[in-house]
Amino acid sequence: MIKHCVFMQFREDVSLAEREAIYADLRAVEGQIQGWLGFVAGANSTDELGMDKGYNGGFIIDFADEAALASYQANADHKKAGARLVAASEGGLAGIFVFDLRL
């Protein structure tokens, strides 16, 4: 299994509604990807002072294997949602951190 973890530094002017819409766009890709196992998203809620490093939102998608992750990465709807995410992040790509945890 692969946990595809993505954390963002949303710009301050990006509303909660816009953030939720981006998460919804990402979640909508689920039905197109064989091996998609789960999705969670939301705001950072750590109480560890300074440990968030400015990352104020994120999502995690569980994939069964490398093929499922590759299918997601190549998916046109994912790319469209990803572009929206980049536009909403502080500094564009610089405001996004991706970590794939292979279990």
Q: Is residue 4 part of a domain?
A: no
Q: Is residue 51 part of a domain?
A: no
Quote the pLDDT of residue 50.
87
Q: Is residue 75 part of a domain?
A: yes
Task: Give the chain's domain count.
Answer: 1
pTM for the full predicted model: 0.94
Q: What residues have CB less than 8 Å from 14, skipping those under 6 apart?
A: 88
Taking residues 11-32, report their average pLDDT.
Answer: 97
Q: What end-to-end distance do the CA atoms of the chain give, in Å? A: 5
Mean residue pLDDT across the chain: 97
Alpha-carbon distance 60 to 14, whole Å? 20
At residue 75, does pLDDT exceed 90? yes
pLDDT tens digits, one per residue of 27-58: 999 999 999 999 999 999 999 988 999 999 99
Task: Tell me how crowded residue 53 is: count the other CB atoms within 10 A of its CB.
Answer: 10
Residue 21 domain boundaries:
12-45+69-90
